[in-house]
Structure 1
Amino acid sequence: MTTLITGAGVIGCHTARTLAARGEDALLLDLRPAREAIATIVDSPRVRIVEADVTDFSALSDLIAAHGVRRIVHTAALLSTAIRENPLKGIEVNVMGVANVLEAARHHALERVVLASSTTVCYPTFGDFHGDAFPEDFALKSISHRPGSIYAATKVTAEHLALLYRDLYGVSTVSLRYAAVISAWSGPGTSVPGRVLSSLVGPASLGQPSVISDPYVVWRGGEEFIDARDCALANVAALDATHPAQGVYTVGLGHLCTFEDFERAVRLLYPSLKVELRTVPTGGFAGFAHVRHAASDIDAAARELGWRPAFSLAQSVAHFAPLCVASTAHP
């Protein structure tokens, strides 16, 4: 059985690696695959890399038929910065890409489609939420809680399309809302948590103070993080789940981390770390207006997918920090 993974980024590559490690074939699709960077994560004869565009339905359908694909993990997307620069392209990739994957799954009667979503779909409601754990099926005011970015709007759309294809056409879909993903690699694309890590680790590895002047990498209150490797494990768990009835699940640590928690995790590696804050955060993580006070409820993922996070914040920092140092030394 072959699983198609769209998007050969950090999460897609780790997903392919996990599948290959248990003896399964994976097809890693990307429009412009960074082959050298991919090889640093997964280098297995069971993983084939193909160049293709998820916005091309005919090419996607032909690929599924030619390689005997039975399942899809869809991670291909443009992130917020790229979408702000080219919103039309971002909407095309993030919405029509999902529509093409779902329609191809319907056409070929695939066994399962797993879609990468984001907890940013929930961020606008944080100012009104007063519970202890944030549920997937949260209360939403359609206007005042509208998405805070085009990226988040595309993820909301993707989740609803997936549920509709499940309800109307019987396509087995699972959407995973990743928390803020901690990762680092030599390929393109940098998450905000990756920027936080680099801003602390890079200077510390050189014995220099970490000067924080970017308001996006410091925050008030807490934020929920997740290791890219845990995202991959969640993807595979979602492929395997026998009855994912809820359809949408949060993939996070289940507890909040402050900027100071991030500092402490880095200081375990670099005890002499010194941080100079030259910006004062006014809101939550990555510039969002609302400060977060409740972590996500991840019990549904444990109950229906059999997944719980394997890596703590400190373990994630320890794993990805050397990659940040390498990228600093060889830009």
Structure 2
Amino acid sequence: MALVALGPNLFEDTSTGYIYVKSPVDWTLIDVLAYITVAFLIFAFLYKGVNQRRALRFPQIQMVIPYAEWERRLVSQKPPLGAGRTLAALIRTIFVDALAMEILKCEYGRAPAEVVKTRIAKRAAKLMIIWGFIFAAISTTLAFLMFPHNMIALNLDSPPRLFGMIGGVLMVAGASIWLAVRYREAQYRGIWDILGADFLPIMVLLLGVSGFLLQAAIYVWAYNQLSVAATAFLWTAIHLHAIVVALFFWALFWTNGEHIVYRIFWRAYEYVDRENAGRNTRLPPTDLKPVNRTGKEIQPGY
């Protein structure tokens, strides 16, 4: 790979023809923040999911059986799950249910009529969001492997750029559809009610929009590096996107979005339990509506 300088912080790779601009933020800092975020997510999961036993606390069960009684009378009577069965159930849950959106079958409104009206739109929205994240992850991985350190390719036909744009479009479209459907069916009582019920799609929408804004700012700054306005636009976009990303991951386990993580374990546990117990499973019926004591934490739609 031979980089030829075209201008301040602007280079061309003569072997591929890609035009690179030096990243305004050092990738080492990004890597450090990523490691800290992963460590925090692990801590949050251990603290809330394991320590508070939310990873195996079915919301349906809490509705009908006090958790302590459920644990004493039901879990203690079950045969051991087994490492093989558990691993197979997790693989099936993640790579089959999640990617096909079978794991989040909650497209139910507050009345039976709403199921007919909104479930197709919600299923499409959730598929877009999930696959948007997958494409974004592929884009980030390819950029790390293909681009020189601290360099960002400006070519729209580069694989990382293509995957990133597709992922961003899917995330923005999915979150927009989701919020539009939810706004019509849910009777929100104010801004805090909206944020509490739909934190996840709101943050996904902001992630996509701020990501596109950042890419636009990089393009503008790459060819106008001496412009004060271009520099201000760039740093505003960088900080906006960084704040949104931080809020999404760092606040996830303290919002109703955390149940998406737990649902993976609930579904895997359900597979193993039904395999062990067959028709005598002690799990409640899956069509039992999951709500907390106030009826708000796990609202219809997630």
What TM-score, normalized by structure 1, do the two folds share?
0.25
User: Computing the radius of gyration over CA atoms, which structure comes out larger, 1 or 2?
Assistant: 2
- Structure that is richer in helix per residue: 2
Q: Which has the higher contact order (CA 8 A, sep 6+)?
A: 2
- Structure that is richer in strand per residue: 1
What TM-score, normalized by structure 2, do the two folds share?
0.27
